[in-house]
Structures are given as C-alpha cells and as structure tokens.
A and B are shown apart, each in its own frame.
Chain A
Amino acid sequence: MLIDWFTVGAQALNFLILVWLLKRFLYKPILRAIDEREKRIAGELADAATQKAEAQQEREEFRRKNDALDKDHARLMDKAAAEAESEGKRLLNQARTESDEMRAKLLDSLQNEHLTLTQALVAKTQQEVFAIARKTLEDLAATSLEERMADVFVSRLHALSEAEKAALSPAGDSRDALIRSVYVLPPTQRALIEAAVKETIGAATQCRFVVAPDLISGIELTFNGFKLAWSIADYLASFEKSVGSILQQPKPDGRASRHAG
C-alpha cells in the first residue's frame, strides 16, 4: 500500500503548520525589512538629491560671492596703489621741504657762527694789534702811546686844508670843543691839543676832555657839528674789512665750515 491516508492527513496538516510558521518567521520579517530598507534608501536618495541641489545652489552662491570679492579686491588694490603713490609723492615733497628748511637753518647757523667768529677775531686782533702797537711804540720811542696819539692828532689838525679849517671856524656862539679819548690824557698832551685846537679854530675855544672807551684807542674832536678823529678803530675797521674779505673768499659749505669751526 503506497498511500497511508493517516499520513496524508498528517502531512497536509504539517504543511499548513509550516506555511503558518514560515509566514510568521520568514516572509513577513524579511519583506518588512526589505520594505523598510527600500523606504530608507528612497528617503536617503531623496535627501541626497535635496542636499545635492542645495550644495549646487550654495556653490553658485559661493562662486557669485567669490567673483564679487575678486572684483572688490581688484578695485581696492587699485585704490590702495593710487593712494600709496600720492602719499609717497606727498611724503617725498614733505621730506624735500624739510631738508630745504634744514639746509637753510644750517646755512643760517653757519653764517652766525662765521659772524661770531669774525667778530671775535676782530676783537682779538684789535686787542693784539693795540697791545703790539703800544708796546712797539713804547719800546721804540720811549713815549707812551697816548703821547704819540696826541702828536698824530695835533699833526692832523695842522694838516687840515683851508676849506676844512673854514668849516671848523665858529659860526655861532658855541665855543666848546669836545675832545674824546680812551684814556685820561696827561696834562702835557691836553695842553698840546688845546693849543693846536685854539690855533686851528680860534683862541676863544674851550676844550672839554671826555673819556670814551668805545674809541678803543685814539682821539676824537667834535666841534660845532664837525668831527675830526684819529683812532686805531679806523685802522681796525679797514683791517677788519680786509680780513672779512679774506674769510669770505672761500665760501664754506655746511660740512666743511662745521669742521673748520
């Protein structure tokens, strides 16, 4: 007997149970997992598409901004270059002006220095010359310098031309003749000078002797607006002139003069 009907029934039942079991444990979970995954993948793909679109948009935005930035950059660079150029020119001009000013100041100070030096030299020279002359005169003539000066002054008075004498002759009431000298003249010199004055101008002339240190050395007669003078200052003035011309001849530039000073 090939067919056992109990077995047939049992196997049919077994098969139905197996159908239920596999549905419960195999098909449903598997299909659910597949569905979920497909849903998930679809969602992720949609997300990715959205993100891609967003990224594309952002890229466009970025590119646009970048272009704008490049343009701005170029513009700012041009502007900065122009500003730098003008500023450079301005600074150069300023520096040039300042340097000119400084040079002028330097020249001024050099000139001042030169002047001071010249004056000091003149003063020193005067003193030296005076001392030497005096000493020489004393040594040679055994007379004082003042005596010699008086002699010279008297000889000058005598040497006046007639026209000059006429100019000296008294026009008004004034009879005072002012004799200025550096030192107090000794009485002999005074008498000598007074005699010479009276002889030249007139016997009524009163001589007044005054000490004037600014003459340095010499005698000066002031009478009736006329002035006759002999002093070393005159020689010194001419000497100073000649020394000054010697000093000015090699016109010093700033640096050379500074070293010289």
Chain B
Amino acid sequence: MRLSPDQLVFWRHGFVTLNETIVTTWALMLALTIGSMLVTRKLRSDIAISRWQSALEILVTGIQQQITEVGLRQPEKYLGFLGTLFLFIAAANLCAIIPGYEPPTASLSTTAALALSVFVAVPIYGIAAQGLGNYLTSYLKPSAIMLPFNIISELSRTLALAVRLFGNMMSGAMIIGILLTITPLLFPIVMSALGLLTGMVQAYIFSILATVYIAAATQASKE
C-alpha cells in the first residue's frame, strides 16, 4: 500500500522525478486558472451579474472578510497568498470525490512545501509591515530568554502545519482504502463524505493558522 502519491512515479531523470503529486497539482492549477479565466473573462460591473461571477465574488469577499476578522487591516495585500492557500487545499481535498484521485495534500512533500511557504511568508510580511529591526526584536519578547523558545515555536508550528494537513488527508484516504476492503458498500460513502468535510475543515484550519501567524508577525510591534 502506498502511503503517499509521491510514490507513484511517472517519469524519473536522476534527481528530477515526475510523480502523481506534481501531476495532480498541475491539473488542479490548470483547472483553477482556467475556471477563473472563464468566469472573469465576462465580468460585469452592472447590478445584474452572472451566477458564476456572483459565486466567485462571494468566495473572494468571504476570504477577505475572514482575513479581516483575524486582524489584518489590509486584506488585499494578503489575499493572494492566503486565498490561494485555502483555494488550493480546498480544491485538492474536494477532488477526493473523483474515483482514483489521490489528493496532493495527502503527500507530506506538498504539505511541507505549503508549510515552508508559510514559514517564509511570515517573516517577509512581518518585515514588510514593521521593518527588519522591529520584526527581529519581536523574537526577544517578552524577554531575551524567550528567543530560543520563540525560534522553536516558529519551527514546530511549521512542522505542525505540514503534518496536521498531511495526517488528516492521508488518514482519510487510508481509512477509505481500508474500509473498501472490509465493507465495500455504503460505509465508504459515508466516510468519503466525512472526508470531504475534513478536507474543507483542514483547508480552513491551514489558511486561518497561516493568517494568524502573519497577523501576529505584522502586528507584534503595534501591540
């Protein structure tokens, strides 16, 4: 049994491998981009708009609202990164409904890549918001003794992000796989539905945690 879609390799040339994770991710990227293009190609600024445009507007404004609620004052600045995190994870998890599909988020490599992105984005946004000095001194708060703990916290939460998403998604796929061998009828459907819910929840948790980290980094000095 495969634990990760990384293990299904389509093409390998030395260090470079083209596995299922990457291919699925590309497919998702393509779907998301083309879907967006199709809808935004005929955008209207009238009172009467298409249903797809309405749906996308609800999605985008919903994400913006979430970001604002967490405490980031200019959601447009973070919308690209945080919105894409949510949309990609949600799309990857929801596609689990397609038979034979294995979500790229069930690969620790993907979740690690996303967690690393957050890990890098947090200081970038923090420094952009409050300057390098202020950002670095935030590691010394409340006292210099806390510096190692702050660094450990930074690393561990990144690891936690990666493993939480991976664990949830991988376990969902695993449970369905196992259940299929035991009770092939009905029960896997229930679990699959539960998996969709878990996937959405995980997408939400991942992006909301990333938002919280960024908010903490950008507003540390102000508090």
Contacts and interface: CB of A to CB of B under 8 A. Distances in A.
B80 A11 contact: no
B117 A6 contact: no
Given A6-B17, A19-B84, A41-B47, A25 B110 contact: no
A4 B19 contact: yes
Interface residues of A, number: 34
Contacts of B107: 7, 11
A13 to B, nearest CB: 8
A30 interface: yes
Query: What DSSP secondary structure best describes chain A's contact surface?
Result: helix
A3 B109 contact: yes
A16 interface: yes
A15 B114 contact: yes
Contacts of A36: 45
Interface residues on chain B, size class: 35 or more
Contact of A37 (B17, B25, B45, B104): B45
B43 A33 contact: yes
A40 B87 CA distance: 29
B33 A25 contact: yes
Interface string B98-132: 00000010011110111011000000000000000
B57 A8 contact: no
Contact of A15 (B16, B45, B79, B117): B117
11 contacts: A7-B107, A8-B113, A10-B22, A11-B22, A12-B116, A14-B25, A21-B36, A31-B60, A32-B43, A33-B44, A33-B49
Q: A-B pairs with the 9 shortest C-beta distances?
A: A11-B113, A36-B45, A7-B109, A29-B40, A26-B36, A12-B113, A25-B36, A23-B80, A2-B108
